[in-house]
Every structure is written in C-alpha cells, then in structure tokens.
Amino acid sequence: MKPLKWIETTTGAWDQPVWLSSPYRITFHGSTFGLERADAAIGDYFMTLEDAQAEAQADYETSILAALSPTPAPSIWRDISTAPKDGRLVLLRTEHGDEWAGTYVAYWIASRGLWFYSQDRSVPRPTHWMPVPPAPGAEAGAALGE
C-alpha cells in the first residue's frame, strides 16, 4: 500500500506547524502532536511526529482494506451508532412511535454531521442501518467472472 504523503505548512496567529495528508491533519501542541481525521474518527495525541504519522498510515490502510472487503449481506438492521461514516451508501430506518417511519438510501456528510438522502435533505432521526444490497444480477455477474 502506498505511504501517505505529508505536506508541512503553518497555521494560526503563531504560525504553528501543521502536517497535512488528506483526510489527516497533524498539529503541534508544544510537546505533543495531535492527529485528526476529517470525519473525526481519530482524535489523539502522540509524543513524536513519526508516531502520529504511523497511526495515520495504519488507519488509512485499515480504511482501504475495509472498503475493499465485501459488504456483509443485508440481513439484519443494526443500531445507527455502528453505521459507517465514510460516505458510502447505506439503508437507514427512522421510527418515531406511531407518527411516522421511513427507509432511506443515504450517506454521511462529515462536515455537516448528518445523514443525507439528497443534496439538501437530511434523514430525520435515523435509528438503524444496513448495507445496501448488490444491484440485481451483480452477484450472478461476479460469479461468471464478468
């Protein structure tokens, strides 16, 4: 797997050093290095820049491998707290007593901290999720080597 490429720059009133490799950001905090990921899945401090970069690389590789692994069959609804927040499409279920319920094909937008089913429509109070099933014929095509 390719190593992340880091760009060093400065930010803030005191020109603090910052290292960037999308979606990761490392900031120097006097004696420690803070590692953040754009979707806030990581937020930790390290004693050295190398340790922070190594953690970002490990997280990056884990994310790539997870994205390449087959999605489990959508057989059960899972609690919304376990839903992937990496932009992939998932099925979401909303429920609110007898007032309303719905199922949406949606995706997470980290910058807004919400699930969306269209560009400007967020999913109201999702409670459960499951992976989107393969398109009709997709499994048969894969089995035939297509």
Would you kindly state where each structural domain of the chain is located, as residue ranges?
Answer: 7-68, 78-143
- Share the mean pLDDT of the chain: 81
Give the tens place of pLDDT for each residue, 72-85: 555 688 999 999 98
pLDDT attached to residue 141? 47
User: What are the strands of the beta sheet with 24-28, ordered from one edge?
Assistant: 7-11, 16-21, 24-28, 33-37, 43-46
Q: Is residue 71 very low, low, confident or very high in pLDDT (cuts 50, 70, 90)?
A: low
Contact yes or no for 106/126 (Cβ under 8 A): yes
User: What are the strands of the beta sheet with 126-131, ordered from one edge?
Assistant: 78-79, 126-131, 90-96, 100-109, 114-118, 121-122
Is residue 135 predicted with pLDDT exceeding 70?
yes
**Alpha-helical runs (H) found in the chain:** 49-68, 138-143
